[in-house]
Amino acid sequence: MNIVFQSPWLLTLSPLVVLPWISQFLTERLASWNQLVIRSNNSRVLDLLLRLTGSVAFLSLLLALAGPEQIERKLQRIGTGAHIVFVLDRSASMDETFGGWMAGDDEKSKGAVAQELLSSFIDERPHDMFAVTAFSTQPIFVTPLTENKIITKAAINTMLSPGLAFTNVPKGLAMGLSLFRDQPVTGSRVIVLVSDGAASLDHRAQRVLREWFERYQVRLYWFFLRTENGMGITTVPNSPREDNPRVMPERYLDMFFRTLSTPYQAFEIDTPESLQEAIEQLDELENKPLLYQEIIPRSDLSDIFYLIALFCVFLLTIVKALEAK
């Protein structure tokens, strides 16, 4: 049971539980001749039960005063889910709506829509572990992989704060991948990249990302929050001059992702409804067996022993009240 006591010194008084066995509970009555006393096995059993009840009452009260607690436990469980790292774009463009203008009272920004839907997604995934990183010009560590949904949702809420500067996807992905470094592989590993833009990758960044995706066995999903009527990740330019990583970084980032040895899927999203559909697809795709730990918090057991002691004292009180005068 892994029980500990706040005041274990009180347990040294436990030998006092023998008091009911050396004292008389019911009133003794004198008889002029032993033969006048009726021999009764029921009386002997009742006397034994009363003494035992007194000992249990005393011991229960003693244990309750000692402050028994069951320490925190971790149990291995098998459920369905994944270890998911959200890599969030915190560039200034995320403050705009899908229509391409600054958000107002009548329409939410891309970041606000993503925050609301991702929070709902987290609520619906009871066994997943989540982590959050962000990026603009530089990567931003937010939370490690954790089972605490409150912390994760608070991290997702940072998307409601004003955006920062530019979009540096490679550094954000590298930080997200690094969170799997010391984690055992107990289920599916996923990175969800939420961004409305991209940046060109040099050869060193491509080599590092390719190596880490393979080493840590991570699946990649890209939620590309495209501005309405903007160029998509699969848009083919009209002029060959425009077909290069500087002019069309999203297209070339998608092409790089498709060369990874791990599974990859991109979603082009230009409305809140399409983002909802993409999250629902992610929920269906990443719903595989997962080994996880369930934490049973520390619990106070004093009330249980107080109730046992109260019940025993109540029984003794009733018997004493029914005693013949």
Only one residue has tokens 């939370």, namely 143
What integer pLDDT is reported at residue 21 of this predicted model? 82
Angle at 195 between CA 189 and CA 198, to 5 degrees: 105
Candidates 161, 175, 196, 167; CA nearest to 275 is 196
290: three-class secondary structure by DSSP? strand
What integer pLDDT is reported at residue 320 of this predicted model? 81
What integer pLDDT is reported at residue 34 of this predicted model? 65
Candidates 118, 116, 120; CA nearest to 132 is 118
- Residue 284's contacts (CB-CB under 8 Å, 6 or more residues apart) are none
Determine the Cα–Cα distance for residues 155 and 166; give it in Å rounded to an integer.
Answer: 20
- Residue 180's contacts (CB-CB under 8 Å, 6 or more residues apart) are 83, 85, 145, 189, 216, 218
Q: Please give the chain's pLDDT, 325 residues, in tens.
A: 578 888 888 888 888 888 888 876 656 666 666 666 666 777 788 888 888 998 999 999 999 998 888 887 777 666 567 889 999 988 887 887 887 677 666 778 888 888 999 999 998 888 788 999 998 888 889 999 888 889 999 999 888 777 677 778 888 999 999 999 887 777 788 999 998 877 778 889 899 999 999 999 999 999 988 877 667 787 777 777 777 777 788 888 889 999 999 999 999 888 888 889 988 888 888 777 666 666 677 888 899 999 999 999 999 889 888 876 6
**189: exposed, middle or buried (C-beta count within 10 Å: 0-12, 13-18, 19+)?**
buried
What integer pLDDT is reported at residue 238 of this predicted model? 72
Token digits of residue 132 = 């959050």
